[in-house]
Amino acid sequence: MQQSTPLYPCLWFDGNARTAVQFYCEVFDGDIISENPVVLIFRIRGQQYMALNGGPQYQFTPAISLVVSCDTQDEIDLYWEMLGYKGHYQPCGWLTDQFGVSWQVVPKVLPTLMNNPQRGTAVLQALLKMQKIDIAALENA
């Protein structure tokens, strides 16, 4: 099998793929690679995506989410607000954006904190009480 075979997600939209792609490219400083009335190919943070104007047959669910792994609280705050604009905030750093796509806005340090044998349970308990994640509160748990 070839190692160079591209692998990228296709996001199904109900006629608003261009609007969604423009929004994502603005949030993540991405770019549109190609487009036609049905399909847009775009790249954010080095990852290629396809957006399809597929119609109302399918909608997004939280069963698939995109993870934004953040270095700082400022990054968490920024992406939480930008992606959540006109969307819905959920517990534990999850949100659904205005297009129905689920996101997890989490600190890169989260796995390290949760895997700590002495503090992992306390970190999890603190996380379960949060919507937007507070790194300092997790580190102090």
pLDDT at 96 over 70: yes
* pLDDT score at 16: 97
- Secondary structure (3-state) at 2: coil
pLDDT the model gives residue 3: 74
**Fold agreement (1-57, 60-141):** no
Q: So what's the pLDDT on residue 132? A: 98
Beta-bridge partner residues of 89: 95
Q: What is the CATH number of domain 60-141?
A: 3.10.180.10
Q: What is the pLDDT of residue 6?
A: 85
Residue 1 has pLDDT above 70, yes or no: no
pLDDT band of 62, cuts 50, 70, 90: very high
Cα distance between the two ends of the chain: 46
| Average pLDDT value for the chain | 96
Tokens of 134: 């507070």
- pTM reported for the whole predicted model: 0.92
Long-range contacts of 121-130 (CB under 8 A, 24+ apart): 127/92, 127/93, 128/91, 128/92, 130/91, 130/92, 130/93
Contact criterion met (CB below 8 Å) for 17 and 2? no
Least Cα distance to 49 among 24, 78, 81 occurs for: 24
More confident residue, 40 or 6: 40
Q: What is the C-alpha to C-alpha distance for residues 80 and 113, in angstroms, rounded to an integer?
A: 21
Provide the edge-to-edge strand list for the sheet that holds 102-107: 65-70, 102-107, 94-96, 88-89
- The distance of Cα 43 from the centroid of its chain, to the nearest Å, equals 14
Rounded average pLDDT over 14-42: 98
Domains of the chain by residue range: 1-57, 60-141
Residue range 113-125: mean pLDDT, rounded: 95
The pLDDT of residue 2 is above 90: no
C-alpha distance from residue 65 to each of 33, 60, 101, 139 (Å)? 23, 9, 7, 25
1-57 — its CATH code? 3.30.720.120
